[in-house]
Amino acid sequence: MKKQIERINQLLINHFGIPERQKKLPDPLDIIIGTILSQNTNDKNSYKAYLNLKSNINSWEDVLSLKTSQIERIIKVAGLGKQKAKAIKNLLKNLKKYHGKLSLTHLKKKSDDEVLDELILHKGIGVKTASCVLLFAFDRNVCPVDTHVHRILNRVGVVETSNPEKTFNEIKSHIPKGAAHSFHTNLLRLGREYCTPTNPKCYECPIENVCNYKEKNFTIKKLTKQNNFFLLDSIK
By annotation, the residues acting in catalysis are 128
CA gap 165, 169 in Å, rounded: 6
Helix H or strand E segment including 98: helix 81-99
b (16+ CB within 10 A) / e for 153-189: bbbbebbebeebbebbebbbeebeeebbbbbbbbbbb
Q: How far apart are CA 186 and CA 13, in angstroms?
A: 7
Q: Which amino acid is at 236?
A: K
Cβ contact 138:149 at 8 Å: no
As a whole number of angstroms, the distance between CA 230 and CA 34 comes to: 11
Residue partners of 25: CB distance under 8 A and separation at least 6: 136, 137, 138, 139
Tell me how far apart the alpha carbons of residues 233 and 26 are, in angstroms, rounded to a whole number. 9
Distance CA 153, CA 157 (A): 6
